[in-house]
Amino acid sequence: MMRNQKFMPAIKHLLVISIAINAGLVLKLLHDNNGHEWATNGMNEVRVAKDVFHGVQNLSRATDQYINLDHGDPTMYEVYWKQMGDRTTLVLSGWQSISYFSDTKNHCWFLEPSFANAVTRLHNLVGNAQTRSYHIVVGTGSTQLFQAALYALCPSNAPEPMSIVSAAPFYSSYPLIIDCLKSGLYKWKGDASKFNKGEPYIELVTSPNNPDGSIRQAVVNGSGGILVHDLAYYWPQYTPISFQADHDIMLFTVSKSTGHAGIRIGWALVKDKEVAKKMTKFIEISSIGVSKDSQLRAAKILDVIADTYEHTEKFDKVKPFFHYGNNEMARRWRQLRSAVNKGQTFSLPDFPVEKCNFSGQRFGTQPAFAWLKCEKAVNDCESFLRKHNILTRSGTQFGSSKRYVRISLISHKEEYDEFIQRLSLLSSMDTP
């Protein structure tokens, strides 16, 4: 979201005035001296002064509004779904979704069969996760499923709360969610790479990782550990699908796979039936199930995505969904790297190139977030960018340094392009 700012920092005005005065002096010297050599050199100096002056003017105009890239709001996908027209339209009659129950024969009794079928179909198409012999648990986003997994995995009669860890930089909401209710079942213990206690623990493995986009594996080698894999971004628009995941508990969400964050639907693939039952019990207690309407709409969307690949004749003028997403993420990362490479103020991580088993293409991970580092004299990257009205999330919230920030790359095109323009100016000035 963007809003007007009434005043710009005084230092920016002083810089403009200083440049204008110096440019004026150069012009005066050029006018007063008839020497050809001085005229040539003088004109070069004038050009430099004008370039810097216009750069500062452009930066001043660009920073009149806030750009909020703190949240991962996936509005990037709005353009794609608009062009799909009524293909994803779903009409529900007033008599539908009356009952609490969806499928009483299923351990997850509020799971809509059509949603379960759509999830299985999409995973089988993409090849990013094994579904055979897995139990599907639906939740209100992956956040509720994450809490349900902790509830299911932590023994209620343990003498001490179970330790929860994740390798830094870790997802910033993990400690907030875990510490929110001050549960006696579990406690946040921070960076997994620093955890070496001989006690039971749960390690959260996010891959690709939020915030830095790295492909992750478990870090702790303890014998009493349990792993929960958050695979929200393991989709072919963000990273090559190089293997079919088959972990004990895998969490996914509609918000990052299709861009429909407002539906608030996620799902877990769980090997152990008893764990799936306990996760279901948590959701039953906390929200008495999950919205049927949201599940039905999500099922429709997932099926349409699969249709763009399996029934291409119906979508001759529309690019298949994951190909569209991959191209758009590639474009945004090209823009971002180009902006950063204009100077030495910022840096970005590099990602290895791999073949994607789904698309057959070779490319490097192009995450939904950029893990940007401020170099040189900038010690607090979030504060530095905030001065130029770019709102980001500090690395300190991810268990890392304040030299880093997480930047969302999946906002509206207009907002993202303005951010790129502003970052390019900051980078090219190279004097924070």
Beta strands in 30-172 (DSSP E): 67-68, 135-139, 162-166
Residues in CB range of 380: below 8 A, 6 or more apart: 374, 394, 402, 403
Q: For residue 263, name the pLDDT band (cuts at 50, 70, 90).
A: very high
Structure tokens at 405: 């920030």
Q: What share of the chain in percent tops pLDDT 70? A: 85
Q: Give 139-189 pLDDT, tens digit per residue.
A: 999 999 999 999 999 999 999 999 999 999 999 999 999 999 889 999 999
Provide the whole-model pTM: 0.85
Instruction: Return the percentage of the chain with pLDDT > 90, whole number.
Output: 79
Whole-number pLDDT of residue 130: 98
Looking at residues 127-132, what average pLDDT do you find? Answer: 98
Residue 277 has pLDDT above 70, yes or no: yes
Q: Does a cis peptide bond (omega within 30 degrees of 0) precede residue 240?
A: no
Spatial distance between the Cα atoms of 225 and 199, rounded to a whole number of angstroms: 8
Q: How far is CA 37 from CA 24, 30, 47, 182, in A?
A: 19, 10, 16, 76
pLDDT at 403 over 70: yes
Mean pLDDT, rounded, of the chain: 88
At 63 the pLDDT is 55
Q: Confidence band (pLDDT; 50, 70, 90) for 224?
A: confident
Q: What is the pLDDT of residues 278-317, one digit of tens each?
A: 999 999 999 999 999 999 999 999 999 999 999 988 888 8
